[in-house]
Amino acid sequence: MTHTTLAGAPFVATQNNDLYLEGVKLADLAHAHGTPLFVYSKAAMLSALAAYQRGFTGRNARICYAMKANSSLAVLQVFAQAGCGFDIVSGGELDRVIAAGGDASKVIFSGVGKTRAEMRKALDAGIACFNVESEAELEVLSDVAQSMGKRAPISIRVNPNVDAKTHPYISTGLKGNKFGVAHERALATYQRAASLPGLQVTGIDCHIGSQITESTPYLDAMDRVLDLVQAIEAAGIAIHHIDFGGGLGINYNGDTPPAADELWTQLLAKLDARGYGQRQLMIEPGRSLVGNAGVCLTEVLYLKPGEQKNFCIVDAAMNDLPRPAMYEAFHQIVPVSARVGEAVMYDVVGPVCESGDWLGRDRQLAVQSGDLLAVLSTGAYCVAMSSNYNTRGRAAEILVDGDKAHVIRRRETVADQMACESLVR
């Protein structure tokens, strides 16, 4: 028996030319549940979390999973049972945390456009903190909290103007981004927050982007945030916790991000050197906990040769896997069962009526119609961003735990999609 682990997907391996996730043969899942099909490894999620937990050994730290990466209830359940808090960006996400058994008192509410209704829901639930992203939001949140006879715990998300060196659509810490309060306005904004009767200042927050693969942007952002902490506390406003956000990248295509524990060894050394090592720390990892835990299985429908391009047309599409269409993102694509034969260069494309509906360009594959392919590293920002474009149902999801496979979301039907619609009579 041959056993080879795939690069970038540590819990996906080939055994006798067949692809397995943990102890489960992926072809068997595709045949039993149909395609497209998302399959996640519980062990991969917990292994990624363990790297952060090792990095924070002996520290007063809380890991809040950024659930926008993958908000499926069973995924949230895995992290809730592991003791995580959650970073949310909507009232609906708060409902999901509670439904999955999460603790509302460990929830951080981020996002630039919180509504009054969402603020009230979060205050009623007793969340840990609001990450406020504008001066206008301070006024509204104070007003809402006062009307409820409460004080809202807040930190202010500061935009440190640090280049995360990532795709511009997922960079969040530059002056031209919509997120956070400008570094130059931070002290004045904290002074205003401290004066508002419905607010209680508890911390400071910073998030510079996503899919970051270098340590330097984090180190630069930490210096700028700690400079602000010093200035804010000198003005008489206590900062009880420091939230450094998330954004650590994963290996999609030979990417080499630092391991979470190695990154935090560097960051904590800087924190200690500047005298802030005993503060409560919060972080909000998302992609780095779930990205490499997932695969998407898809069937080859047709092979279409052309003068300039050969197309491998599969049943997964941009509505299932939006990242390539949105970011020109790369995902490895490999056969679920290896086939002997000459590999041909294909663009792997879906059936949606858009030229942007592609999953991979210029891939060498030995395939025939009816074969199964696995799109790797699809645990983050795939199902969470999926849609019903072309009246396509969302894919089913499976959680693998050792040699057991649990259906955690059934395949969506057309009836499900139309359930909220009605004809005019």
The CA R_g of the chain, rounded to the nearest whole Å, is: 23
Q: What is the DSSP letter of 135?
A: H
Q: Is 354 annotated as a binding residue?
A: yes
* DSSP structural state of residue 63: E
Q: Is 198 marked as binding a ligand?
A: no
Could you tell me how many residues make up the chain?
Answer: 425
Catalytic residue check, 353: yes
> The tokens of 375 are what?
């799109």
Q: Is 73 exposed, middle or buried (0-12, 13-18, 19+ CB in 10 A)?
A: middle
Q: Both ends of the chain: CA-CA distance in Å?
A: 64
323: annotated binding-site residue? yes
The reply, when asked if residue 169 is annotated as ligand binding, is no
Going by C-alpha positions, the residue among 5, 52, 85 that lies closest to residue 332 is 5
The catalytically annotated residue of 84, 353, 382, 420 is 353
Residue 286 annotated in ligand binding: yes
262 is in an annotated binding site: no
Report whether 247 belongs to an annotated binding site: yes
Residue with tokens 């708060």: 94
Q: Residues 103-111: contacts with CB within 8 Å, 24+ apart? A: 106/62, 106/64, 107/64, 108/64, 108/243, 108/282, 108/284, 110/157, 110/205, 110/207, 110/284
**Max CA pair span of the chain:** 72
Which positions ≥6 away from 219 have C-beta within 8 Å? 266, 267, 270
Would you say 190 is a known binding-site residue?
Answer: no
91 is in an annotated binding site: no
From the annotation, which residues make up the binding site for pyridoxal 5'-phosphate?
247, 284-287, 381
Give the annotated binding-site residues: 247, 284-287, 323, 327, 354, 381
Active site residues: 353
Residues annotated in a binding site for substrate: 287, 323, 327, 354, 381
